[in-house]
Structure 1
Amino acid sequence: MNVKIQDVDFKASNDLQNFVTTKVEKLERYYADILDAEVVMTLIKPETKRNKKVRITLSVKGPDLFSEKTADTFEQAADEACEALEIQLKKLKDRISGR
Structure 2
Amino acid sequence: MKVNTQSVNFDADAKLISFIQTRMDKLEQFYDKVISSDVYLKVENTSAKENKIVEIKVNIPRDKFVVKKQCKSFEEAIDSACNSIERKLVKKKEKMRSYV
For normalisation by structure 1, the TM-score amounts to 0.96
Partner-residue secondary structure (3-state), 2:49: coil
Q: Where does structure 1 differ by over 4 angstroms across 4 or more consecutive aligned residues?
A: none
Q: Distance in 2 between matches of 1:23 and 1:5?
A: 13
Which residues of structure 1 form unaligned runs of 5+?
none
The match for 1:35 is 35
Change (3 A) 1:47 1:20: farther
Partner-residue secondary structure (3-state), 1:49: coil
Q: 2:14 is matched by which residue type in structure 1?
A: N
The match for 2:80 is 80
Which residues of structure 2 form unaligned runs of 5+?
none
The match for 2:25 is 25
Q: 2:46 is matched by which residue type in structure 1?
A: P
Q: 1:7 is matched by which residue type in structure 2?
A: S
Structure 2 counterparts to residues 61-76 of structure 1, below 5 A: 61-76=61-76
The match for 1:58 is 58
Q: CA RMSD in A?
A: 1.0
Write the deviation string for residues 45-92 of structure 1: whole angstroms up to 9, x where unpaired. Answer: 134210000010000012201111000000000000000000000000
Identity percentage of aligned residues: 30
Write the deviation string for residues 21-67 of structure 1: whole angstroms up to 9, x where unpaired. Answer: 11111000000000001000001113421000001000001220111
Q: 2:15 is matched by which residue type in structure 1?
A: D
The match for 2:97 is 97
